[in-house]
Amino acid sequence: MSPLQASHLFDRDDAIRLLADLVRLPTVNPPGDDTPGAELLAQELDRRGLRPELTEIGPGRTNATARIRGTGESPALLFNGHIDVVPPGEVPWRHSPFGAAVEEGRLYGRGASDMKSGLAAMLIAFDIVAHRKERLRGDLIFSAVTDEELGATGACRLVTDGLMSGVGGVLIGEPTGFNAYIAEKGLYWLELETTGVTAHGSMPHLGHNAIVDMHALLGEVLAIPLKEGADPGNGRATLNVGTIHGGVGPNVVPDLCRVSLDFRLPPGVGDGELMENVRAAVARAQARTPGMHVSIRSAGSRPAVATSPQDPLVRLVLKLCEERLGRKQKALPTPGFATDASALCSDPPVPFVIMGPGREELAHKPDEFVELDDYLKAIDLYAAIAERFLG
């Protein structure tokens, strides 16, 4: 790192070793077996004398946390990241998804960007802050959680266990290329199902085709107007048709078709109004298609959350990005992805910043990687944020 960036001393080789060890663990969700990752992080914390706690959420799902006690004069700061990663997919990788290969200054592997580099950087920064001479005015909490990619059960467990009590700011190490994100859309998943009547494919008039009905229904759903939120800067609601399943073969009239929908709702757009629009779309489709039978099921949701650009944590992060990275920027909403901020910071509202060394455009893609120089810069930056916020 250049003199502009370097202010904390730490073992670079050990930091890279930790990241590589973490990436080599296939903490894939689904199915969700990330307990080995939590155990590795706990071992690393324990080796540094930082008294970790492991909390089992369910089979294969475990959180790892630790706390540095301050004087209690200031609210706590929470470092947060998730251990789980998405599957490597069917497309061949140039490097092994869990090999942690290093080539030309990049470490490759599933989770290298999203978000084991941010998580490992937070652990090293947590260690740096723990061993400073001056005591912090507030607690610093390290939290590595399970199941961010699907259900946020790990983050929700932090809330129910009371770990958010007294927290005045949350820093989430998701891959942002060091952009500071302070708002994210809510997530609302729906399943639509049409049912028909089976018949031989040579006599379709004797059946009722559920896939044809779904085609008509999706036309109406895709025509739903997608609104902007209260702040136009947070973008417009979006809809993705994620999966479609139906039929058993070309010679059978299908009697079932199921579709999953992914709505992203900016702050200020409620899911109640969205459901009214979906039901109205169903009614229009049924009016135009006699015999159509439709069921709607909610498959999960997360609230939209936002932090004021004038919040002290936001202003501090932007100031330190300029000081440490030579990077002047404005705080922005995420490009659309959701994080555990929705579980941690919504009720009650807690200021948060999402910022990490990985690149968001690499998340969930083959040959995911992180620039090792960015990873090392993140360690210094995270430590500086904690010291300033809590000092």
pLDDT at 232 over 90: no
pLDDT at 2 over 80: no
**The pLDDT of residue 78:** 98
The phi, psi pair for 294, rounded to 5°, reads: -130, 140
pLDDT at 8 over 60: yes
The phi, psi pair for 183, rounded to 5°, reads: -150, 145
Interval 36-85: pLDDT, tens: 999 999 999 999 999 999 999 999 999 999 999 999 999 999 999 999 99
What percentage of residues in the chain have a pLDDT greater than 90?
91
Q: Which of 6-10, 192-196, 290-294 is least confident?
A: 6-10
**The pLDDT of residue 6:** 53
301-319 core/surface letters (b: 16 or more CB in 10 A; e: else): ebbbbbbeeebebbebbbe
Give the DSSP letter of residue 112.
I
Interval 251-270: pLDDT, tens: 999 999 999 999 999 998 98
Interval 336-388: pLDDT, tens: 889 999 999 999 999 999 999 999 999 999 999 999 999 999 999 999 999 99
Strand, helix or coil at 140? strand
User: Going by CATH, does the domain composed of 186-302 fall within 3.40.50.300?
Assistant: no
Interval 10-39: pLDDT, tens: 999 999 999 999 999 999 999 989 999 999
**The pLDDT of residue 3:** 38
Count of residues for the chain? 391
| 285 band by pLDDT with thresholds 50, 70 and 90 | very high
Interval 147-176: pLDDT, tens: 999 889 999 999 999 999 999 999 999 999
Domain 12-184+305-390 and domain 186-302, same fold? Reply is no
Question: In the chain, what are the domain boundaries?
Answer: 12-184+305-390, 186-302
How big is the chain by its Cα radius of gyration, in Å? 23
| 108 band by pLDDT with thresholds 50, 70 and 90 | very high
pLDDT at 5 over 60: no
Distance CA 391, CA 389 (A): 6
pLDDT at 89 over 60: yes
- What is the pLDDT of the chain when averaged over all its residues? 95
Strand (E) or helix (H) holding 199? strand 199-200
User: Going by CATH, does the domain composed of 12-184+305-390 fall within 3.40.50.2300?
Assistant: no
Contacts of 264 (CB under 8 A, 6+ apart): 185, 186, 187, 188, 237, 238, 239, 336, 338
